[in-house]
Every structure is written in C-alpha cells, then in structure tokens.
Structure 1
Amino acid sequence: MANNGSVTSQNEKTTLLGKTKQDYASILRWLSFVNAEVLPHFGAWYRPLLGLDGYNKKNVDEASKVALKNISVLEKHLTANTYLVGERITLADIFAASLLTRAFATVLDKKFRSENPAVSRWFQTIVNQPYFKAVVENPVLVDEIIKYTPPKKEEKPKKEAAPAAAAEPKPEGEQKKPKHPLEALGKPDFILDDLKRTYSNEDTRPVALPWFWQNYKAEEYSLWKVDYKYNDELKLTFMANNLIGGFHARLEASRKYLFGAQSVYGTNYNCVIRGVFLVRGQEFKPAFDVAPDWESYDFVKLDPSKEEDRKYVDDMWAWDVPVTVDGKEYPWADGHVFK
C-alpha cells in the first residue's frame, strides 16, 4: 500500500494525492480502511465460493455480513460525496475500486447495486476512467451472487472385496513411504526439467517448441489432450482460470512426471477449458489420479506422428491462436502452465 503513494508522489503535478496535507491524510486513512477492513472480508466471502479456499458455510456467511457492513461505510460517505476525498479522483478511489473489482464480479450482485446506488455509481465512474480501463478493460458486474459448487466426482461401481487374512502391521521403523507408481518406469533419457527450463526461458514458437520436438522420446512420454467436461457450467473467465490453477495445485505429487498447459478460451459466460500435457509413460491415470477432481476432465491421447496433433500441441502451449470447439471459435483468454 505504501508503494502506491510512493510511486504517485514521484509526479510533482499529480492531483491523486489531494490538494492539501489534510487531503493526503484522508487518502491514507481510506487506503488503510479498504486494505484492512474491506478486502480481507470480501476475500473470505468469495474465495471459498471460487474453490480457492476451503468452503465452510458458517465462515462464508459471517464474512459476508462483515464485508457488507464495512462497505456500507463507503455507501454512507459516497451518498454525500462524489469521491472518497475532495472533488476529484484520488489514489484512494483508484485503490479502493481496484480492490473491489473481484467483489463486484462475484458477490456484489444486482440486488446489492440497487440497494447501494452511491457506491455503485462511484465504482462505475472509476472503472470507466481511461487509465483504469487500460488495465481492466471490461470489469464484470455479476447478476447473481456466485454459488459454491463442490468438485464433481463420478460414481464408480463398487467392487466386492475378496476375503483376505489380515496382515500383521509392520513396526514403525520398517514402514516405508509409498512410492509414486511412475517411479517404477525408471529414469528416462529425456529429462523433463530440461523442457521446463527451455519453455520458461526461451521464446515459445521459435525456440522452445522446436527444441521439444527435436528431443522428445515417444517411447518414454505420451501426449494427452486434457479438456474440462463441464464447460456449460463455466461463467467468468477468471473463475475458469482459477479452476485450472486449483487442479494444477492438486497435481503436485506428480510434478516430476508431468508438463503441460491449460487455458481458458472465450469470454465471460461463453468459455471453454482446453490443454495438453506431456505424461511420463503411456497411460494418463497414474499421473492424474493424485488430484481428487481428475475425473472432471476428458483425456484423449495424441499421436505425435500426425501433423495435426503436433500442431495442436504447439497451439496449446504457445497461447497465441484461438481454439475451435463444435465449429465455434474461442479466443485465448488466460491460462496456467504446469511445470
């Protein structure tokens, strides 16, 4: 927060820090209030709904009450004032509006906006300033508060357990940490860390992708399309991208055996998730079933000997072309690399 004021103060002609020392002190008070009393409670409200934090209904309900109570302070102030400090936009307005963009996109719905016209008017004024739109071109205003959706798990037929004699537990000193099933494949000639390093440090199309195809060993690794099954349930692109990030976080146990990229293509309320992974071995399941939500994705093996499959890998990893699904083209929006 201090950096905002420091950077702004470098311009002696700026009006963003107010006209007087009293204005400046008021700006700092608003920065502190929004950062300490507004943002944390809104985050505790919407982050669990997005699957970014563990969901506990009681905690979410309590966070929503405190968040709405604290933002009512802004509503009361802005009912009598055009901006937070003075008669012109200041750093306080820009800072507060930027921290509230995610809240307006997730939980501050039509009902809230109709009941809080002052803060809604102020927010729209700030986010439509040219310098704000240069960073956030089209801020989202949600119609209804987003709802928490538990991760989907497909039901599996129950297997009847064969009767077996109970094995005697080993003494603690003899118990070994379970190995990852892909460890049995041994050390490959193609070192995955070399690919991850090249992809991170070099230009993707001209250097990293040609390097990959030159060094790739199909007998050691397989390539898989990994697409989300429930695209019709996706809403905002940033929420879809958060879903990818959560999935990748849950793949941590297989990090030594995977490299890939998944992206959100499309626009808000009209988007899909597509991606490609390089997997140690010839089967996808041993690498992916470490993530509880792996069954929410479709896995299709690619054939690197086919030109169209190689091109698909390049496109998924380069993030520079749209994707076509069911005859409809979706532009690239955002994505995550698993490396």
Structure 2
Amino acid sequence: MVAETLNTCSENWRAFKALIAAQYSRAWVCVLSTPHHFHFGQTNRTPESLRKFPASKFPAFEGDNGFCGFESNAIVYYVSNGELRGGTPEAAAQVAQWVSFADSDIMPQASTWVFPTLATMHHNRPLRMQRKNTFPVGEQATLADITVVCTLLWLYKQVLEASFCQAFPSTNCWFLTFQAVLGEVKLCEKMSQFDAKEFAESQPKKEKEGLTGREQKEEKKAAAPAPEEEMNEREQALAAEPKAKEPFAHLPKTTTPGLWEHFGKDGWSLWYSESRFPEELTQTFVSCNLITGLFQQKNASASVILSGTNNGSPISGVWVFRGQELAFPLSPGWQVDYESYTWRKLDPGSEETQTLVREYFSWEGAFQQVGKAFNQGKIFK
C-alpha cells in the first residue's frame, strides 16, 4: 500500500488537523516535514511541486490515487470518515459551522495574541471562549473538535497560562484528549510577552550585496545629505532667538483649577466608580479593554484608570455627569458593565473630592482610595 503524503513544516498546527482526522479514520498518512523533504520557499517552488500544487501553499496533500490538494480544511475533510464529517445533514451543517467559526472568530484573535510572543507581529488583544458541552456537535468527536483544537494549540502553548485556564476546566480536559497526535503539549506556565527587539531582528533586512558599480554610486548619492539652503535675514533672526527647552512648560500640568472655577454644581455632579470584583481582573491588558465597555453614553465625561499589575488590577474612575443622578439607568444601551461597578456620589466642596479629581485627571498621585500605583488610564469626553 502506498501511503498518502502530507507536505508541511514541522509543528504546523494546520497539519495536525489532518493527522488527527487520519487517526480517527484509520487512514495512513506519511508526513514529510524534515528539511530534506520540505523547506519552505524552496521545495514547494520546484517545477515538480508547482505542477502538483500551483499555489505553492502548505500543508499540501498527495493521495495514493494521484489526488493533490491544499488548504488544511479541504485536506482534513478528504481524509475523514463519515462520522467525523457528521452522520446526518444537520450534524454535517453543525460541523461546517464550527470549522468556519474556528477560522473566522478564533484564528484572527488568536493570531493577534500568540504571534507577538513569537516575534512575528505587534501585539493587539485576546479572545474569550467558554465551552458548555462535551463536544461541539453530537456525542463524539467530529471535524468541529479537530479544527477548534488545532486552532487553540498555540494559545495553550504561548499565552493561556495556568491562572487563566483554571476557569475553564472542561475546555482544558477536552483539549488534552487530542494529545495522541499532538504529542504531549507543554502548556504555558507564564504568558509570553511581545519582544520588540526580537521582532525587529526577525524582520528581513535589505540586501545590499550584488549591486553593480552604477547602483552603488546611485545609492551613495541618495544617502548623501542635501546641501543646506541659505537663509534670508528674517530666517536668520528667527534661528538666533533662544528656544524653550519645553514648549509647554508654561502651561499647568492639570486643568482642575479651571474645572473648579467653572463647575456648576447645580447642573452637574461628580461620581466615583470602582470595580466590584477586582480579584477577577487578572491580566492588565484585558482589564484595560473592559474600561471601554463603560464609555457607551454621551451625558458624561470621565477619567478611568487601571491600578496595580497582573492578578491585581482594579478599575476605578471619576465621572462628571449632567444632572444629579447617574445617567446609566436612562437607557438599556448605556448599561454595559454598569452593574459591575460601585458608584458613590462625591461632594464637590470636600477636600477628598478635590484630591480625587486632581489625581484622576492628571494621572499622578498616591491614589489612596485604591491603594495601588497607577498603571494606565482612559479619558472619556
């Protein structure tokens, strides 16, 4: 029997989908991933490879009957049996639903979280996911499980640290059942961080070797500084004037004096907010994203800050509302995350309020209300 072959680089999570499906279907698939068999940019661009796979994409599959195909979802479908594809039209539709969900919802967000830790792109934001059933479709593993598990693989390796995963025991157990093909997955102990230096070093550098003499002369000419233009008398006089080291040094560091001068306490009110469940705020960048959930209505201004570090980053803020009551209850659309915070009306004339306003509007001070140092903040106006 001639084995069907899968051409791919090593540790390719997309290829794992086909290998897991092949095990469930008892299909024999030979993986060609060593540098001798597969070297990205070389072996996948040879005339023979391009004849079979014109798009030169990988993983690439070649069947023992001569069938050739690429794109991991197409390959995994080909090597799967009927049970994995879904035993009924309804189950097959649900399988396709989860395969699409993994590609459109999980993978883009996972990439922005994982790839910065691998120095392949800048950092963005993570995703959230919770499982309620043992399997996405039916009572046994299908392509839906295989596709989602492989999409989550690098999340578990790079960023889903133990403290984060504790809240999802069922998902963790379900994921680890697929280790027979994945091998023993070394789960992330501490979330990897974006390394700007490593990212810069990983970027391709401009090659200057092999330039002709004429090209080298043109490059030197382009790099040479342009001759300085002569200044007229007016420009010389402006250049001779002493320059301030800090052009904004004469401006006040905070606008609170102006606020108290023009604040109308009859038409406006000040409020202090603080997160009810700070122990649940484990990652600072996730907590900072939650602040935006409050900024949904237009009858207020606020300075909301994040204090402390990971596993201890409470959210608090000072708000200026029009009127004497909170505006959130006036509209269901304004109540996003509203009940996740405590709200306390402030006395504009008290020393405590003036200290809070000064600290929260300038992002400087002791922040004794919180008891932790300032980390980052957001302004809503």
TM-score tier, shorter chain, comes to 0.3 to 0.5
Larger Rg: 2
User: Which protein has greater RCO, CA pairs closer than 8 Å, 6+ apart?
Assistant: 1
TM-score by length of 2: 0.41
Higher normalized helix content (fraction of residues): 1
TM-score by length of 1: 0.45
